[in-house]
Amino acid sequence: MANRVVLAYSGGLDTSVAISWIAKETGAEVVAVAIDLGQGGEDMDIVRQRALDCGAVESIVVDARDEFAEQYCLPTIQANGLYMDRYPLVSAISRPLIVKHLTEAAKAHGGTAVAHGCTGKGNDQVRFEVGFMNLAPDLDVIAPVRDYAWTREKAIDFAEENNIPITVTKKSPFSIDQNVWGRAVETGFLEDLWNAPTKDVYDYTEDPTVNFSAPDEVTISFEKGKPVAIDGRKVTVLEAIEELNRRAGAQGVGRLDVVEDRLVGIKSREIYEAPGAMALITAHQELEHVTLEREVGRYKRRIEERWTELVYDGLWFSPLKRALDAFVEETQQRVSGDVRMVMHGGHITVNGRRSDESLYDFNLATYDEGDSFDQSYAKGFVQIHGLSSKIASKRDLGL
C-alpha cells in the first residue's frame, strides 16, 4: 500500500492543486478532509466531489458545526477572547479543531503524513503544525505552499498544466477564510493601509452607514457563562451564533478593520466580520460585570489577554492554555442571567441586566431613601487607603 497523506482540504485553489502536486512529487495517495464549520456559501458535497476530481483517493467531509460552537466558540465567549482587544479569533479557534480531525483521519486511513495549504508568512502554519506536534508528533508535515514558494499564479499554472479542475482566475483579489464564528478577508488592494474596504469585501454584514432598518433589541440569557436563550427562546450555542449573525449582521455590527501583530513578527491588515461573536462577547462581558466579584474580575481580565495570545499563537493544546481554561471555567459558575441590548448602525448598546447571581445591591448603591451604606466608615477607609502614598509624598516634598 502506498504512503498516504491526509490533507486539510478547503476546496480552494491551493489545496485543490496540492492534491495533485503531493501525489506527483511524493508518490503518496492523498486523503482529503474537509471540515464543515458553518462557513456556508458552498455545498459540502460539491467540495467533497471536487477533491475526488482533483485526484484524492478518499474525500471526507466532517460536520463539526456543533462541536465547533460548543468546544471552541463557547470557551472563546467565556474568556472574552479578543486579540489586541479587537479580533475575536475567527480563524485561530478553527485550526485546533481541524488538527484534531486530521489526526483522527490519519489514524483511520493509514496516513503517515498530514498536509496544509498555509503560507510561510501567516499564523496558520504555526497553528496547524504545533497542533500536530501535540496530538500526533509521529506524523510528517507537508506544506507545499510555504516550502516550495507557491504563488497564486504558479498554482493556477500548475493546475492548467496538469488538467486540475479549478474555477479560480488570476484576477481574484482576496484571500478569504470563514466559518460560523466569523469571516476574515485579506490581500489585494487591502494591503495598502490607506485603501478603504469596498462593499464587495463584506458578506456577513450590511453597511451600517446606509442601513435604515429599525433598531433590533435582543435579550441574551446565559447559564454559567453559556448562552442558552435569545428573547426567551431556548437555543444551542450554534443556534445563538447563527441567529445573532443574522440579526447583528443586518445592523452592520461586527465589522472590524484591523492592523494586527502576527506571530511571525510582521503586521498585517485584516478585515473581519463577526456579528454573532461580537454580540455574544459584549453580552457576556456585561453579565460578568454584574456577577463577578471585583478582584476575580480584575484578575480574569489579565488571564483573558494571555489566554487569547496563546490561542492566537497556536498554543491551544499547551499546558498553560489548559491551566487557564480551568481558571476561566471556575469563574463562570455564577455567570447566569440576562443581558438586553440594542443593535443598530454598527453599534451595540447594552440597556439592561438582571441576574439571580448579581452582586449589585440596590440598597448599597442608591443615593435615595433606603440607603444602607454606612458613610461613617468612609473617612477612616480613605485615610488608611492613602497612607503609604501620603508618607512617600511627604518625604519627596521634604515635609
**pLDDT digit string (tens) for 145-180?**
888 777 777 777 777 777 777 665 555 567 888 999
| 36 marked among binding-site residues | no
Q: What is the pLDDT of residues 179-197, one digit of tens each?
A: 999 999 988 889 999 999 9
> Can you state the angle between helices 319-331 and 294-312, rounded to 10 degrees?
150
Top-confidence residue, 291 or 165: 291
- Grid cell for residue 168: 479560480
DSSP conformational letter for 91: T
Positive or negative, the CA dihedral 174, 151, 158, 115 is negative
Return the ∠ at Cα 87 (arms to 212 and 150), rounded to 5°: 110
| 377 marked among binding-site residues | no
> Which H or E run includes 175?
strand 175-179
Burial 342-353 (b: 16+ CB within 10 A, else e): bbbebebeeeeb
Residue 14 annotated to the active site: yes
Q: What is the pLDDT of residue 94?
A: 97
Residues 6+ apart with CB under 8 A from 243: 230, 235, 276
Q: What is the pLDDT of residue 11?
A: 82
Distance CA 28, CA 101 (A): 20
Contact at 8 Å (CB) between 317 and 128? no
Distance CA 325, CA 316 (A): 10
Task: Please name the residue that has the C-alpha cell 454580540.
Answer: 279
Distance CA 73, CA 88 (A): 10
| 260 marked among binding-site residues | yes
3-state secondary structure of 147: helix
- Grid cell for residue 285: 462581558
Q: What is the pLDDT of residues 362-377, one digit of tens each?
A: 888 878 787 888 888 8
Contact at 8 Å (CB) between 34 and 9? yes
**Among residues 4, 48, 65, 95, which one is catalytic?**
95
| 124 marked among binding-site residues | yes
User: Which among 276, 228, 233 is positioned nearest to 40, based on CA atoms?
Assistant: 276
Q: What is the pLDDT of residues 100-158, one digit of tens each?
A: 999 999 999 999 999 998 888 889 999 999 999 999 999 999 998 888 777 777 777 77
**Among residues 50, 124, 177, 221, which one is catalytic?**
124
Residues 6+ apart with CB under 8 A from 373: 363, 364
Contact at 8 Å (CB) between 187 and 175? yes
Q: What is the pLDDT of residue 136?
A: 96
| 86 marked among binding-site residues | no
Return the ∠ at Cα 163 (arms to 160 and 167), rounded to 5°: 65
DSSP conformational letter for 197: P
> Which H or E run includes 338?
strand 337-344
**Among residues 4, 14, 59, 334, which one is catalytic?**
14
| 175 marked among binding-site residues | yes
Q: What is the pLDDT of residue 25?
A: 84
41: Cα separation from own chain's centroid: 19
Mean pLDDT of the residues in the chain: 92
Q: What is the pLDDT of residue 186?
A: 86
**Among residues 59, 91, 175, 336, which one is catalytic?**
175
Confidence of residue 198 (pLDDT cuts 50, 70, 90): very high
Q: What is the pLDDT of residues 54-75, one digit of tens each?
A: 899 999 999 999 999 999 999 9
Amino acid at 153: E
Distance CA 266, CA 220 (A): 38
Count CB-CB contacts under 10 A for residue 47.
20
- Grid cell for residue 185: 478577508
Count of residues for the chain? 399
254: Cα separation from own chain's centroid: 12
- Grid cell for residue 67: 462541536
Distance CA 293, CA 134 (A): 36
Residue 53 annotated to the active site: no
Task: Please name the residue that has the C-alpha cell 466579584.
Answer: 293
Residue 356 annotated to the active site: no
Residue 301 annotated to the active site: no
Domains and CATH numbers, the chain: 4-172 (3.40.50.620), 177-354 (3.90.1260.10)
Q: What is the pLDDT of residue 157?
A: 77
Confidence of residue 24 (pLDDT cuts 50, 70, 90): confident
| 393 marked among binding-site residues | no
Contact at 8 Å (CB) between 58 and 309? no
- The pTM of the full predicted model, rounded to 2 decimals, is 0.94
